[in-house]
Structure 1
Amino acid sequence: MTVDAAAVDSSAPISSFAATAPQASAVDPHCLPKTRALAESLRAATGRFAMVGHQDDTFRHHVDLSAADSDVKAITGAYPAVWGFDMGRIELGWKRNIDGVPFEDIRREMRRAYDMGSVVTVSWHSVNPVTGGGYGDNMAPGTVPAVLPGGRMHDRYLEWLGRAADFLVSVTAPDGEPIPIVFRPYHEHTGTWFWWCPGSSIEATDTTPAEYAELWQMTVEYLRDVRGVHNLLYAYSPDRSRIDMTDGASRRADYLHGYPGDDWVDVLGLDDYWDIDQDPATFDPADCHADLVTMLTLVGRLGRERGKLTAATEVGSPRGFAAAFDPAAGGPWVGYMLSAATANEWTRRVLWYLPWRNCEEADGGGAYGTPAPDSAYADDFRDFARDAFMRLSDTLPPLYM
């Protein structure tokens, strides 16, 4: 499938192309006007372009960054089209999130992203509600049943959800309407490192897929029906590393392991570091690239089948594969990431790619999101972000009209 990205008028609301977009049922039939407009715009954009995202873009960047407050802007001249934030520790009533960023600063930057027309997405790395354990110490047997209705921690967990609700409606547009947010709770559930994880066929936990689905549905019902939060699109995002790649049936089954149902999900996502940040001395880059294309194809197909938006909700940095690509044919961002994003009509349905935050503790690894302005990969990243198929904040059509 060939997409003429230049044919899309970036000055016109993308909803003007809605007649060609697949229809999708919304989790919240009473979502606010701007949130509904964003969903319709993203449906219309599907297959026409993809967006460059970044987690904590203006909070964590390279030490040698000069004038710009964003690594993406320093290299490309524009901010990301998708801005990622995390509200971990909001559940405890803290003033700062899991990464030490003040929530007031997060609110300010969420509004800033919205004001420039970018998409805002929020994840939630909460502590374990039974033990209080944080990242790396987040698991404990029986945690999910404890917070479900009838569980001993249920009332306490509703208090946590109440604090989450307060935060999710705390950023408003000039007219007072809460800004649209792509909310990504309970992510990477096919793994074994968060209290909500049921795992997958590769490695299961004590949480069942049915319990995970009930947790998801309980959360949506509380936010939407009890607290009246109507500015959210809900994103489901399994972790790639625990998906069985043996055959199509296995991949599909593991991706949908714990899936709460089409009535409860707006965005089918994928968190994929596994196919992107491996050591080329151990993993064949060509095989990894093929698996990345396979997974993006699966997500795109499922999105089309189920009438859902699709996204690469977290991706690693492909710089470890740099030596595997001829610079004349494109470095790791163009030769690896962009070629996967545009591999076929199904991968082109994936609406955004969000590298993780540029934190110092991840320096030297594949989770270190975007290059520094003086990096050997800066030009390659610029070529990736400025490709005709990709969008930054300054090339997005209006999404909220």
Structure 2
Amino acid sequence: MIPNPSHPVDPDLTPRARALFDALHRVSGEFTMLGHQDDTFSAHARERDGSGSPADSDVLAVAGAYPAVWGFDLGRIELGWSVNIDGVPFDDIRREMRRAYAMGAVVTASWHAVNPVTGGGYGENTAPGSVAAVLHGGDRHGEFLGWLRRVAAFLGSVTDEHGEPIPVVFRPYHEHTGDWFWWCVGSPLRPTDTGAGRYAELWRMTVGYLRDECGVHNVLYAYAPDRSRIDMATPASREHGYLFGYPGDGYIDVLGVDDYWDFGRGDPPATPRDRHADLADILTLVGRLAAEHGKLAAATEIGSPGAFAAESAEPWSGYLLSALTANDDARRMLWCLPWRNSADAVGTTAYGTPAPDSPYAADFRAFVRDGAIRLADTLPPLYSR
């Protein structure tokens, strides 16, 4: 456990959000929570279990408990849609956020917003000048503030049975070190037209507007560069690449990283041994910076270690677990979050956790029941002070 020299981005956090912030700092380094995106919206257990089990979660069906971190996405909330980018109704997302909170789990949300200039989504999400257009003085600034008001309204609507706002770890503008979203800045070696300074301005504007203008006080803010564009050659290049576009300590609660690259994505692929070394190195970097800056740390989105199953009979309890426990800095990852178990991701590094009939199910059980990992049923209280 490390001391907590940090202050939250929002000094007026709701009591439950402040309790979560403090609890996560207290337990930092003690264990890693297993998270899952859209856990109860993308389960295969109902389709594949011949016994007719009503299990609504592959993690539950395989490991006997729900994830300790539940991930959701707010994409299309900006347009006023009733369903998100994956077709999940926002009413259902709100319900499942309440359910996760009621069992003591952590709730986190990403935001795959459409391009503010073109309206394009996945695959059509970039256009020159997109970030400049939404900043102060840009021709889409007023419209974008309307988008943020819709985000704020949703976050404020997620309440418990007493009407109190549920804490949410919000991860907007993620993977900004790539080149596939309108907010991306690229890498120091291959920057986009956005520039690191504009990205930082976008982040600060967003936090300031949600917190100070919209009165959203139940949110912790997570920063999550994409690993694939970070130069791992030297410790200095890693840190420089990771912090490219960093908006400043006053605007970040969680230092995260989205990493599919070290789980088999990429052409030509490195050897599993090299990828494993890089995975441990990036987790170590994030954990060290979190300690130095007084921040929380997490592997905010990861690929499936099953991609390396041919090289390891234990991709979860071997490949991933050994990286998460490589040293004291890597152990500061408070959670790791595989992506959703969508049918179109089967066989790819983007597929999340094993279904009950997966050849990796037994290894996954060994992973989540290791003493270094937590599911929802083994969490300490996170919302009481």
Fold shared by both chains (TM-score > 0.5): yes
Alignment of 1:200-215 (within 5 A): 200-215=187-202
- Give the Cα separation in 2 of the matches to 1:283 and 1:305: 31
For 2:336, which of 330, 353, 358 is the aligned residue?
353
* Match status 1:55 vs 2:42: no
Whole-Å separation in 1 of the counterparts to 2:268 and 2:123: 27
Partners of 1:200 and 1:280 in 2: CA distance: 18
Who is 1:379 aligned against?
362
Q: Does 1:23 align with 2:10?
A: no
Report the CA distance between 1:282 and its aligned residue: 4.1
2:160 is aligned to 173
Where has structure 1 moved over 2 Å in runs of 4 or more?
20-23, 277-283
Q: Are 1:365 and 2:348 counterparts? A: yes
Report how far residue 268 of structure 1 moved.
0.1
Distance in 2 (alpha carbons) for counterparts of 1:202 and 1:251: 12
CA distance in 2, matches of 1:233, 1:73: 27
Q: Aligned-pair distance for 1:280?
A: 11
Aligned to 1:315: 302
Q: 1:280 to 1:335 in 2, by over 3 A?
A: farther
Alpha-carbon distance in structure 2 between the residues aligned to 1:280 and 1:209: 27
1:134-155 CA-to-partner distances (Å, cap 9, x unmatched) read 0110000001011001110000
Q: Superposed, which structure 2 residues align to 1:53-92 within 5 Å?
A: 53-62=35-44, 63-65=47-49, 66-92=53-79
How far residue 203 of structure 1 moved from its aligned partner, in angstroms, is: 2.0
The answer to whether structure 1 residue 344 and structure 2 residue 327 are counterparts is yes
State the alpha-carbon separation in 2 of the partners of residues 280 and 123 from structure 1: 27
Unaligned runs of 5+ in 1: 1-16
Contact 1:86/1:122 (8 A) holds in 2: yes
Question: 2:226 & 2:265 partners in 1: Cα distance?
Answer: 15
| Superposition pairs of residues 2-401 of structure 1, within 5 angstroms | 20-62=2-44, 63-65=47-49, 66-278=53-265, 282-325=269-312, 327=313, 331-401=314-384
Say if 1:93 and 1:333 are closer, same or farther in 2 by CA, change over 3 A.
Answer: same
Q: Name stretches of at least 5 consecutive residues in structure 2 with no aligned partner.
A: none
Deviation of the 1:173 alpha carbon: 1.7
Distance 2:57 2:150 in 1: 29
Provide, for residues 39-90 of structure 1, a one-character-per-residue CA deviation record: whole Å limited to 9, x for no partner. Answer: 0000011011110000000000224144310000001100000000000000
Which AA in structure 1 matches 2:48? D
Name the amino acid aligned to 1:374.
D
Q: Secondary structure in 1 aligned to 2:21?
A: helix
Secondary structure of 1:160 counterpart: helix
Contact 1:236 1:267 in 2 (8 A): yes
Structure 1 position 194, deviation (Å): 0.3
Instruction: Give, in angstroms, the shift of residue 246 of structure 1.
Output: 1.5
Shift of 1:376: 0.6
The AA in structure 2 aligned to 1:388 is G
Give RMSD over aligned pairs.
1.3
Distance 2:267 2:246 in 1: 33
- Alpha-carbon offset, residue 309 of structure 1: 0.0
Query: CA–CA distance in 2 between the matches of 1:246 and 1:280?
Result: 18
The letter for the 1-side match of 2:82 is K
Q: In structure 1, the residue corresponding to 2:310 is in which secondary structure?
A: helix
Q: Is the 8 Å Cα contact of residues 82 and 119 (structure 1) preserved in structure 2?
A: yes
**1:1-48: CA deviation from partner (whole Å, max 9, x where unpaired):** xxxxxxxxxxxxxxxx8xx53321210001100000000000011011
SS in 2 for 1:295: helix
8 A contact 1:23–1:43 mirrored in 2 = no
Distance 2:321 2:32 in 1: 10
The answer on whether the counterparts of 1:21 and 1:46 sit within 8 Å (CA) in structure 2 is no
Letter in structure 2 aligned against 1:60: S
Identity rate, percent: 65
Measured in 1, the distance between the counterparts of 2:174 and 2:254 equals 12
* Offset at residue 281 of structure 1 (A): 9.1
Name the TM-score, length of structure 1 as normaliser.
0.93
Aligned residues: 379
- Aligned residue identity for 1:64: R
Question: How far apart are the structure 1 equivalents of 2:268 and 2:321?
Answer: 22
- 2-side partners of 1:279 and 1:151: how far apart? 36
